[in-house]
């Protein structure tokens, strides 16, 4: 194939998104298209696996191979794809309910394996598509149809969890800053190992608390903190505690760690998808010999 | 002429009962005896009662038999738990180092006390009592100590010559003592087998998968299916595959779907509780038209149920489980060899029809072992992949690949895999259009639904669909699915010897149901007895639904966790004992 330059256009599809005007998910889509184009990835060599919710629709509007699967299950699909064919660039995406509610178990275990995928959580602190219910990242006291008296639970702290579970890349982005989000996505995709990007992506229709303005007022850019180096767990935890997790940028990055497809028994340059399915008669005899 | 012999070792779980049974089984198999070995065990690590039974015949044998000729008992519980199988000529070899051991009332088998533990201690290691016991068993069965040589060598090769020698001594000790003290021994049937392989259903499910092109397993450990995972772990990496232990069965099944989507032939293996967790994923594979193979090794349900006991009660879940409606194939092997054959074919079927294929065995079939003389692997080779070629994709106009092409006459639209140029699509669990965009349009929904269901119209697994054993015109037809076949087959032999005419019909494809193939046998039979290992008659209900025999079926059910005995089936046939009408 020719060495023509990949552009954002290569990752666009005809179908128009059905998100509300002003939805943060438009920015996530644009930033992701820009990031993969900047990295010169071929659309056929990228797979985007998404969950269910407004965020889950991302794969339909992104011009790579996609899997728009079940609620909370974007990660098992993404890991299956990556291990089956580690030559592909694999991205998983979903919402806060999808990833930190119904899919929480998979989130923790994917980090434990350090599968080489990027996981973008489009965090709007609410269930949007189902018209506004409290989500795992809604603040304590958050009022919605499912918590009319205010949420009694503390929210999930995804950055803390990721750091505690040893994710090798932890970042946070905001749809109000497409440039920074693009940079973070690029870094996350380039990172070898599991990369979490918690992306604040406001729901303009149902969440009247965590709005663009609210985030703009509160978010602190790590880039502006010259002394911050994303290399220490302790430092990362101290920072996100200090700013109540309201920071953007790369929070932690562990270089040089092997990814799961390099660690798993049978690890090889050749992915399972390219394995030879022919088994010789000699090998068949060997397969039976232990049973004699 | 002796044609049948049974031996069993029983004791506490964790004291090497399984390995004692394995050693004798391996010795017999190598010497050309046809055997069947059944493991009875409990869901605990130490204590309780476990046993390992071997039946030897002069021809291939598929079931462990109702009675017991030689019991090797390491504790009193083993005598009590197996007393019902003994007869007055049975030999009970027991560990007389333990003072409490004694026979029960009602029959008088020959008691052969041997201080197994004391002998082992004298030899310097209590563990070796199992080998002393093997020696005594060898004497009681007319085997020679040398018959054990190659098995002992293989087993302890890594531990060195001194360990091998110690085990030989222990074996000889038990052998000599038995020969000196006890007159009774039982000759074995003639060893007529050649090139026998001692294999379990689970092992054959693994082997069939590998031969069928499976190069990926995602699973969660669960009795009695974990042995499939072990087999895959041992072999797939050597053939370029991978095995991933997932956090739960939801993740395992969905990971297998992801791997299939990426183009590798992938499976998951589980038992009832795990299958229940996979129900949503099953629908995902159905609507996204992604190949998927699920092995369900059934155990006693519901809930956690009977984790270490056998049952055939997942049938309805395999047939109907998951919300919504999808095309699916449900294959039920009835022999250990069929575990291999069906596993092999499952991967081609899943890929060809782009739908889930469930292969449902059970604990009895999965964990039992038999000497097989019919394992010819030569025909098992992957002939064809069902994935669109890069050339075909290149010929299409850019960006117009219709993954879910409604024009496919048989509903099977070519599938691309990531990495292929111009094959981009989104696999969707939402209802979708031809390229993979979610839709809610009524007519498109209906067309897409019909396309999916059309894939299996007229599906026929050929001669593998059903098996009829017996003459055409019979008084009695025993019908069932899966592992019950083995006791039914033997029961029918007994019935036919007594002058009545009976036959067996085994249904092996449960979905799409081979109605025509089954019907022709059912309309002939004068009396039909359905035999199944569950409590509600799921298979009989299916027969009524598919064939419409309401009121004509007699039904025998068993749901106590154990496989059928032949006697239970014969009693139902002769005296209608336990028979229900359905």
Write out the residue range of the structural domain in which residue B314 sits: 198-372
8 Å CB contact between B485 and B564: no
Q: Is B287 exposed, middle or buried (0-12, 13-18, 19+ CB in 10 A)?
A: buried
From the list A15, A52, A273, the residue facing B263 with the nearest CB is A273
ipTM: 0.98
All residues of chain B having their beta carbon less than 8 Å from the beta carbon of residue A84 are 216, 242, 258-259, 262-264, 266
Interface of A with B in 250-269 (CB under 8 A): 264-266, 268
Q: Give the model's pLDDT for residue B472.
A: 86
- HSE (CB half, 13 Å, CA atoms) of B32? 6
Judged by DSSP in three states, B111 sits in: strand
Q: Answer whether B281 sits within 8 Å of A266, measured CB to CB.
A: no
Last residue of a domain, one of B372, B393, B412: B372
Say how many domains are in chain B.
3
**Cα dihedral: A61, A67, A71, A76 (round 10):** -140
B160 with B212, same domain: the answer is no
Residue of B nearest to A41 (CA): B419
Report the gap between the CA of A13 and the closest CA in chain B (Å): 9
Q: Within a domain: residue A283?
A: no
From the list B30, B240, B417, the residue facing A275 with the nearest CB is B240
All residues of chain A having their beta carbon less than 8 Å from the beta carbon of residue B250 are 73, 76
B14 with B134, same domain: the answer is yes
B472 with B359, same domain: the answer is no
Last residue of a domain, one of B314, B341, B372: B372
Q: Answer whether A84 sits within 8 Å of B263, measured CB to CB.
A: yes
B62 with B123, same domain: the answer is yes
Q: Within a domain: residue B224?
A: yes
Interface of A with B in 67-106 (CB under 8 A): 67-70, 73, 75-81, 83-85, 87-88, 105-106
Q: Within a domain: residue A292?
A: no
All residues of chain A having their beta carbon less than 8 Å from the beta carbon of residue B260 are 80
Q: Within a domain: residue B217?
A: yes
Residue of A nearest to B206 (CA): A287
From the list B252, B264, B381, the residue facing A272 with the nearest CB is B264
Report the gap between the CA of B425 and the closest CA in chain A (Å): 5
Q: Is the pLDDT score of A3 beyond 80?
A: no
Report the gap between the CA of B56 and the closest CA in chain A (Å): 16
Q: What is the DSSP string of B161-184?
A: HHHHHHHHHHHHHHHHHHHHH---
Say how many domains are in chain A.
1
All residues of chain B having their beta carbon less than 8 Å from the beta carbon of residue A76 are 218, 246, 250-252, 254-255, 258
Query: Which CATH number fits the domain that encloses residue A123?
Result: 3.40.50.970
B118 with B227, same domain: the answer is no
All residues of chain A having their beta carbon less than 8 Å from the beta carbon of residue B426 are 59-60, 65-68
B359 with B309, same domain: the answer is yes
Q: Answer whether A81 sits within 8 Å of B418, measured CB to CB.
A: yes
Angstrom distance (rounded) from CA B420 to CA B159: 51
Q: What are the DSSP E strand ranges found in chain A? A: 46-50, 65-68, 89-95, 118-123, 126-127, 133-134, 169-174, 195-200, 220-221, 247-253
Q: Within a domain: residue A275?
A: no
B167 with B213, same domain: the answer is no
pLDDT in tens, chain B (582 residues): 788 999 999 999 888 999 999 999 999 999 999 999 999 988 888 889 999 999 999 999 999 999 999 999 999 999 999 999 999 999 999 999 988 899 999 999 999 999 999 999 999 999 999 999 999 999 999 999 999 999 999 999 999 999 999 999 999 999 999 999 998 999 999 999 999 999 999 999 999 999 999 999 999 999 999 999 999 999 999 999 999 999 999 999 999 999 999 999 999 999 999 999 999 999 999 999 999 999 999 999 999 999 999 999 999 999 999 999 999 999 999 999 999 999 999 999 999 999 999 999 999 999 999 999 989 999 999 999 999 999 999 999 988 899 999 999 999 999 999 999 999 999 999 999 999 999 999 999 999 999 999 999 999 999 999 999 999 889 999 999 999 999 999 999 999 999 999 999 999 999 999 999 999 999 878 999 999 999 999 999 999 999 988 888 999 999 999 999 999 999 999 999 999 998
B19 with B139, same domain: the answer is yes
From the list B30, B240, B421, the residue facing A276 with the nearest CB is B240
What pLDDT digit, counting tens, does each position of A109-162 carry? 999 999 999 999 999 999 999 999 999 999 999 999 999 999 999 999 999 999
Secondary-structure percent of chain B, ordered helix, strand, coil, rounded to 5? 40, 20, 40
Interface test with A, best of B204, B229, B237, B251 (most A CBs within 10 A): B251
From the list A47, A76, A281, the residue facing B418 with the nearest CB is A47
Q: Within a domain: residue B242?
A: yes
Residues ≥6 apart with Cβ < 8 Å to B109: B71, B86, B87, B88, B89, B90, B91, B92, B103
Strand partners, B91: B70, B110
Q: Give the model's pLDDT for residue B2.
A: 85
Task: Kindly tell me the number of DSSP H helices and DSSP E strands found in chain B.
Answer: 20, 22
Q: Answer whether A106 sits within 8 Å of B251, measured CB to CB.
A: yes
For B292, the enclosing helix (H) or strand (E) is strand B292-298
Is the overall model pTM greater than 0.90, yes or no? yes
Query: Which CATH number fits the domain that encloses residue B211?
Result: 3.40.50.970
Query: Which CATH number fits the domain that encloses residue B570?
Result: 3.40.50.920
Interface of A with B in 23-62 (CB under 8 A): 43-47, 49, 52, 57, 59-60
Q: Within a domain: residue A290?
A: no
B473 with B536, same domain: the answer is yes
Q: Within a domain: residue B407?
A: no
Last residue of a domain, one of B181, B216, B244: B181
From the list B280, B381, B424, the residue facing A65 with the nearest CB is B424
| Positive/negative CA dihedral, A212, A216, A219, A220 | positive
B355 with B491, same domain: the answer is no
**Strand order in B356-362's β-sheet?**
B242-245, B214-219, B265-270, B292-298, B356-362, B329-331, B509-511
Q: Answer whether A288 sits within 8 Å of B257, measured CB to CB.
A: no
Write out the residue range of the structural domain in which residue A17 sits: 8-267
Residues ≥6 apart with Cβ < 8 Å to B541: B582
Query: Which CATH number fits the domain that encloses residue B32?
Result: 3.40.920.10
Q: Within a domain: residue B45?
A: yes
Residues ≥6 apart with Cβ < 8 Å to B94: B71, B72, B73, B74, B78, B79, B101, B111, B112, B113, B114
All residues of chain B having their beta carbon less than 8 Å from the beta carbon of residue A81 are 258-259, 261-262, 418
Q: Give the model's pLDDT for residue B524.
A: 77
B37 with B93, same domain: the answer is yes
- HSE (CB half, 13 Å, CA atoms) of B320? 6
B206 with B320, same domain: the answer is yes
Q: Answer whether A65 sits within 8 Å of B418, measured CB to CB.
A: yes
Angstrom distance (rounded) from CA B295 to CA B319: 14
Angstrom distance (rounded) from CA B359 to CA B481: 12
Q: Answer whether B418 sits within 8 Å of A44, measured CB to CB.
A: yes
Q: Answer whether B424 sits within 8 Å of A43, measured CB to CB.
A: yes
Q: Answer whether A275 sits within 8 Å of B241, measured CB to CB.
A: yes
**Residue recorded with tokens 């509610």:** A101
From the list B197, B207, B242, the residue facing A292 with the nearest CB is B197
Q: Answer whether A81 sits within 8 Å of B251, measured CB to CB.
A: no
Q: Answer whether A44 sits within 8 Å of B246, measured CB to CB.
A: no
Identify the band that residue A1 occupies on the pLDDT scale cut at 50, 70 and 90: very low
Report the gap between the CA of A7 and the closest CA in chain B (Å): 16
8 Å CB contact between B333 and B339: yes
Q: Answer whether A79 sits within 8 Å of B258, measured CB to CB.
A: yes
All residues of chain B having their beta carbon less than 8 Å from the beta carbon of residue A19 are none
């Amino acid at each position: 194939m020719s060495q023509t330059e990949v552009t954002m256009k290569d990752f666009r599809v005809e179908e128009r998104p059905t998100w509300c005007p002003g939805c943060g998910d438009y920015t996530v889509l644009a930033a992701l298209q820009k990031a993969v184009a900047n990295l010169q990835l071929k659309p056929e060599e990228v797979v985007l696996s998404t969950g269910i919710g407004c965020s889950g629709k991302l794969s339909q509007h992104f011009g790579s191979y996609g899997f728009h699967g079940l609620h909370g299950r974007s990660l098992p699909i993404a890991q299956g794809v990556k291990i089956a064919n580690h030559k592909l660039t694999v991205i998983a995406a979903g919402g806060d309910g999808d990833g930190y509610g119904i899919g929480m178990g998979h989130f923790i275990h994917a980090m434990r394996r350090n599968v080489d995928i990027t996981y973008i959580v489009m965090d709007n602190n609410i269930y949007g598509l189902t018209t506004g219910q409290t989500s795992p990242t809604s603040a304590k006291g958050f009022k919605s149809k499912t918590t009319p008296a205010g949420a009694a639970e503390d929210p999930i702290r995804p950055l803390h969890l990721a750091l505690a579970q040893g994710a090798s890349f932890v970042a946070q982005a905001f749809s109000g800053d497409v440039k920074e989000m693009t940079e973070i996505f690029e870094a996350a995709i380039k990172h070898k190992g599991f990369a979490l990007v918690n992306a604040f992506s406001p729901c303009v229709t149902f969440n009247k608390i965590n709005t663009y303005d609210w985030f703009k007022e509160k978010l602190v850019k790590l880039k502006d903190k010259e002394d911050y180096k994303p290399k220490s767990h302790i430092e990362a935890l101290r920072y996100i505690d200090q700013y109540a997790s309201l920071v953007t940028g790369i929070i932690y990055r562990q270089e040089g760690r092997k990814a799961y497809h390099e660690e798993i028994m049978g690890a090889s340059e050749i992915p399972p998808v390219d394995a030879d399915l022919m088994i010789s008669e000699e090998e068949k005899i060997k397969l039976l010999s232990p049973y004699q | 002429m002796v044609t049948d012999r049974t031996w069993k070792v029983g004791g506490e779980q964790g004291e090497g009962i399984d390995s004692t049974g394995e050693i004798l089984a391996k010795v017999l198999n190598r010497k050309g005896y046809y055997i069947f070995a059944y493991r009875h065990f409990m869901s605990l690590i130490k204590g309780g009662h476990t046993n390992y039974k071997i039946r030897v015949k002069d021809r291939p044998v598929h079931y462990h038999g109702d009675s017991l000729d030689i019991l090797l008992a390491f504790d009193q519980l083993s005598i009590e738990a197996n007393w019902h199988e003994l007869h007055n000529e049975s030999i009970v070899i027991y560990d007389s180092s333990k003072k409490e051991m004694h026979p029960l009332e009602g029959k008088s088998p020959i008691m052969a006390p041997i201080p197994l533990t004391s002998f082992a201690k004298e030899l310097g290691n209590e563990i070796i009592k199992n080998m002393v016991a093997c020696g005594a068993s060898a004497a009681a069965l007319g085997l020679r100590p040398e018959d054990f040589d190659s098995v002992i060598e293989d087993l302890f090769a890594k531990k060195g010559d001194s360990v091998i020698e110690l085990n030989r001594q222990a074996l000889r000790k038990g052998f000599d003592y038995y020969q000196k003290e006890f007159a009774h021994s039982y000759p074995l049937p003639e060893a007529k087998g050649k090139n026998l392989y001692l294999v379990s259903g689970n092992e054959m499910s693994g082997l069939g998968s590998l031969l069928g092109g499976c190069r990926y397993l995602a699973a969660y450990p669960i009795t009695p299916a974990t042995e499939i995972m072990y087999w895959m772990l041992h072999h797939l990496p050597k053939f370029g595959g991978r095995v991933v232990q997932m956090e739960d069965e939801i993740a395992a099944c969905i990971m297998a779907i992801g791997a299939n989507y990426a183009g590798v032939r992938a499976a998951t293996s589980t038992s009832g509780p795990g299958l229940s967790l996979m129900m949503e994923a099953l629908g995902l594979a159905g609507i996204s038209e992604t190949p998927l193979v699920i092995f369900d090794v059934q155990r006693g349900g519901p809930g956690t149920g009977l984790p270490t006991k056998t049952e055939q009660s997942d049938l309805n879940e395999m047939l109907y489980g998951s919300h919504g409606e999808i095309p699916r194939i449900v294959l039920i092997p009835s022999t250990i060899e069929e575990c291999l054959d069906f596993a092999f074919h499952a991967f081609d079927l899943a890929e060809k029809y782009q739908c889930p294929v469930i292969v449902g065995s059970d604990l009895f079939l999965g964990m039992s072992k038999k000497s097989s003389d019919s394992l010819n692997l030569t025909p098992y080779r992957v002939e064809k992949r069902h994935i669109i070629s890069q050339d075909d994709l290149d010929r299409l106009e850019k960006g117009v690949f219709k993954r879910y092409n409604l024009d496919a006459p048989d509903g099977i639209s070519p599938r691309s895999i990531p990495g292929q140029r111009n094959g981009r699509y989104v696999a969707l669990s939402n209802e979708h259009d031809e390229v993979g965009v979610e839709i809610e349009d009524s007519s498109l929904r209906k067309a897409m639904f019909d396309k999916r269901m059309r894939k299996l119209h007229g599906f026929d697994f050929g001669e593998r669909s059903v098996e009829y054993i017996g003459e055409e015109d019979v008084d009695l037809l025993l019908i069932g699915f899966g592992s019950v076949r083995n006791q039914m087959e033997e029961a029918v032999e007994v019935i036919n010897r007594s002058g009545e005419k009976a036959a067996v019909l085994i249904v092996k494809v449960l979905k799409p149901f081979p109605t025509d193939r089954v019907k022709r046998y059912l309309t002939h039979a004068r009396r039909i007895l359905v035999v199944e290992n569950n409590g509600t008659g799921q298979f009989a209900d299916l027969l009524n639904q598919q064939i419409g025999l309401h009121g004509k079926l007699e039904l025998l059910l068993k749901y106590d966790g154990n496989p059928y005995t032949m006697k239970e089936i014969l009693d139902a046939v002769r005296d209608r004992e336990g028979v229900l009408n359905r």
